[in-house]
Amino acid sequence: MRLLIGSDSGYAALVRAATDLHQADERSPLLVLFGAESAFSFRPRPSTILVPGMPDGVIAAIPPLEEFGIASRLASPMGLPGCYDGTVIELAEQWLQSADAGLREGMYLAVAGPDVTIAAAENLGRRLGLSVDVISRS
Confidence of residue 105 (pLDDT cuts 50, 70, 90): confident
* Count of domains for the chain: 1
Asked if pLDDT for residue 96 goes beyond 80, the answer is yes
Domain containing residue 6: CATH number: 3.40.50.80
- Structural contact between residues 34 and 16, judged by C-beta atoms closer than 8 angstroms: no
- Whether the CB-CB separation of 46 and 58 falls below 8 Å is answered with no
Which structural domain, as residue segments, surrounds residue 129?
2-137
User: Average per-residue pLDDT in the chain?
Assistant: 92
**Coil, strand, or helix at residue 116?**
helix
pTM of the model: 0.94
Q: Residue 101 pLDDT more than 80?
A: no
Q: Give pLDDT tens digits for 58-85.
A: 999 999 999 999 999 999 999 999 999 9
Strand locations in 1-138, DSSP E? 2-7, 30-35, 45-46, 60-61, 71-75, 108-113, 132-137
Closest by CA to 110, choosing from 1, 12, 26, 2, is 2
